[in-house]
């Protein structure tokens, strides 16, 4: 599943291409995604301009000229492809997983603009589209999510207070979207490495300094990933065919058996399954 940096790269790419562009036509080829696409979906988008492409957590938000919003989630395998009407573009994928070319099937939604279209492809159909009628309803729809790592609310005091008397381990908390929204499996391992915290450590045992480190390093890791175009574990490319490079900067993720890169650390990177998710850490310098 794409994490916050990858969704942000898609947002940036789409915003450059479709901002202030008018939707000419919409074709829904399969309404049976995670949530069934309503019958009025096409008419809700048609003739509207995309005023802005926004993001919150792992959600894309297409803000429309009539003050409604189209909420998009890519799910596990959803990809958005950009197809020009005249010029044949071989690299079409704006998303994280699957082929960087337009697949031959599983195209569920097509949104047409004057000179191009965007196509939503999703073999597993865990993604979805929803029309949200106004800003208040959008806020309500996303209210179950915790603050983003970039939010000023996500600080030492918030984390320390949230963790009091909590028995769950810190790795699971970083993946808990009610606690903090947007962090996924890759970046949780990287954040904990920079913070020198073992992923299995109980949250209630964290000291205030460790909570401060988590707040600081969450921002640092995600901003670094965004600046490098995301992590191309498979075939993630943006709309300009540029591949993400953050995977070249992994400190622990997918480095099982390799020496720890921390200065003067003699540790070896270990792999452990926590709640059925692969977790990578140094058994020496992460306490």
Annotation marks residue 58 as catalytic: yes
Annotation marks residue 3 as catalytic: yes
Catalytic, out of 228, 243, 272, 277: 277
Contact 223, 191 (CB under 8 A): no
Catalytic, out of 11, 55, 58, 117: 58
- Residue 276 buriedness (CB in 10 A; 0-12 / 13-18 / 19+): exposed
Adjacency order of strands within the sheet including 128-132 = 50-56, 59-64, 69-73, 128-132
Query: What pairs with residue 120 in β-bridges?
Result: 80, 109
How many Cβ atoms from other residues are within 10 Å of residue 134's Cβ? Answer: 12
Distance CA 217, CA 219 (A): 5
Distance CA 10, CA 77 (A): 14
Kindly tell me the sign of the dihedral angle through the C-alpha atoms of 38, 44, 46, 48.
negative
Annotation marks residue 210 as catalytic: no
Contacts of 207 (CB under 8 A, 6+ apart): none
Around 274, how many Cα atoms within 13 Å sit in the side-chain half-sphere?
A: 23
Distance CA 4, CA 123 (A): 21
Annotation marks residue 46 as catalytic: no
C-alpha angle 242/248/249, rounded to 5°? 120
Residue 271: closest CA among 287, 284, 255: 255
Active site residues: 2-3, 58, 277
């Amino acid at each position: 599943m794409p994490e916050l940096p990858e969704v942000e790269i898609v947002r940036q790419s789409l915003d450059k291409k479709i901002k202030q562009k008018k939707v000419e036509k919409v074709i829904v080829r399969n309404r049976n995604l995670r949530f069934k696409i309503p019958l009025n979906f096409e008419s809700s988008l048609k003739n509207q301009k995309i005023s802005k492409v926004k993001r919150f957590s792992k959600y894309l938000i297409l803000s429309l000229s009539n003050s409604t919003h189209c909420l998009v989630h890519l799910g596990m395998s959803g990809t958005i492809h950009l197809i020009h009407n005249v010029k044949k573009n071989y690299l079409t994928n704006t998303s994280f997983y699957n082929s960087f070319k337009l697949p031959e099937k599983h195209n569920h939604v097509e949104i047409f603009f004057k000179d191009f279209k965007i196509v939503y492809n999703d073999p597993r159909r865990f993604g979805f589209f929803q029309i949200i009628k106004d800003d208040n309803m959008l806020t309500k729809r996303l209210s179950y999510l915790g603050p983003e790592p970039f939010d000023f609310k996500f600080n030492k005091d918030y984390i320390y207070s949230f963790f009091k008397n909590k028995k769950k381990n810190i790795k699971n908390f970083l993946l808990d979207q009610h606690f903090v929204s947007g962090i996924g499996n890759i970046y949780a391992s990287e954040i904990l490495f920079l913070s020198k915290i073992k992923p299995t450590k109980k949250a209630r045992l964290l000291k205030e300094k460790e909570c401060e480190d988590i707040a600081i390093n969450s921002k640092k890791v995600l901003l670094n990933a965004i600046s490098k175009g995301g992590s191309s574990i498979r075939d993630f490319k943006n709309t300009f065919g540029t591949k993400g490079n953050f995977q070249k900067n992994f400190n622990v993720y997918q480095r099982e058996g390799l020496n720890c890169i921390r200065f003067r650390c003699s540790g070896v990177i270990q792999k452990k399954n926590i709640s059925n998710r692969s977790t990578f850490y140094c058994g020496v310098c992460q306490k």
